[in-house]
Amino acid sequence: MFWIGEETYGITHEQLKAAGRELCIEFSYSSAEERLDNIVELDGRPLAEPRDVARRSVGCCRDYALMLASILRHKGIPARVRTGVSLYFVAPEGRLIEDHYITEHWDAERVRWELTDPQIDDVQRPAIEKGLDTIDLPVDRFLTGWQLYEELRAGRIPEFVGFPPRNAGFTYGRNKLFADFVGVTGHEMPVHGWWGIGDSLNDMQAGDEALIDRMIEILRRIDGNDPAALSEALELTSTHPRLAMPEGYVVPIAPLLGACREGRCASMFRGRSLHRVRRWLCSPEASAWNSFFTRVAPRAPPPKPVIPLATTTATWSPFRPTVTLNFARRTSGPNIAPHAALPRPYTPCSLSPLSNR
């Protein structure tokens, strides 16, 4: 979605909309099945055949991560979607701290988990570190949700990281921790969907700090391949009132909708198909509702958080992630590696302290 442009893929949002594409709806698809249906609707040829850029489905980094995980699971390879921040997109002043989703999969030969960024293609490669292996990312180039929160606590990540003014700093860290936690249990959250402790529109509640500590501890153990940790995460997400999905929850359309989070306007949609709901959410009427429910007036954002580069070894592009791929249907599959597996290592961010320039 965010990479679409004449200078990148040779096509603009306006051209796609003029061709009848409903990009707001396409961007909102949350399952691999929906994405696959959209791909086939746009071009009914076999999935292995390359598509013209104007006939590809429009999504974001989360869609790439989910589809790769789906393909790997279909092949019997343990895989899961992880979210947090990447540290390998670059600008002239340093590395950008980018909101991102990637895939983590099990390498049986090396007996370890590997991080893979499936969205990077030849168009986007100039915007990342030169020579970076996106198939097996270095562990210090991506912070998962719990690692990001720990870095914020240690003061090694700027507190305006995220999407200022509201969803930034520890609020943003809480949102990413939530998305990462429910993601490893099989609820791969859309980039614009959350509830409970992960809702950036709501403040912390009593007991949230203790819950955050427990979530971080469980994720540490999951990353260390503790088989009991995943069971604990599954139980916690289904029973804890700050983690369990609310009844009647409606996934909002980005950047909508404070009104619809946690089912707050679910009564408006009773009896309507999900597709009709999405059409309404993309309508001018919904835009008026969204403006009414906006809690924070727009402000000029602070500078993008960066990590200074000691020596700039990467080329640079002014464009930011993401769009368009061909996907495969998601199937169920294992979510944790064999018990004898070695843990994926994590050490505090070696690139700290960060600059706020």
As to burial, measured by CB atoms within 10 angstroms (0-12 exposed, 13-18 middle, 19+ buried), residue 266 is middle
- 77-107 pLDDT, tens digit per residue, is 999 999 999 999 988 877 889 999 999 999 9
Length of the chain: 357
Q: Whole-prediction pTM value?
A: 0.76
Structural contact between residues 35 and 327, judged by C-beta atoms closer than 8 angstroms: yes
Q: What number of other Cβ atoms are within 10 A of residue 167's Cβ?
A: 19
217 pLDDT above the threshold of 90: yes
Q: Which range is least confidently modeled, 117-126, 183-192, 216-225, 310-319?
A: 310-319
* CA atoms of 277 and 270, how far apart (whole Å): 9
Structural contact between residues 349 and 151, judged by C-beta atoms closer than 8 angstroms: yes
Query: How much of the chain, in percent, has pLDDT values that exceed 90?
Result: 48
Residue 80, C-beta contacts closer than 8 angstroms, at least 6 positions apart: 69, 103, 104, 105, 183, 184, 335
As to burial, measured by CB atoms within 10 angstroms (0-12 exposed, 13-18 middle, 19+ buried), residue 247 is exposed
257 pLDDT above the threshold of 60: no
- 330-353 pLDDT, tens digit per residue, is 233 344 444 344 555 555 544 433
- 111-160 pLDDT, tens digit per residue, is 899 999 999 999 999 999 999 999 999 988 999 999 999 999 999 988 88
277 pLDDT above the threshold of 50: no
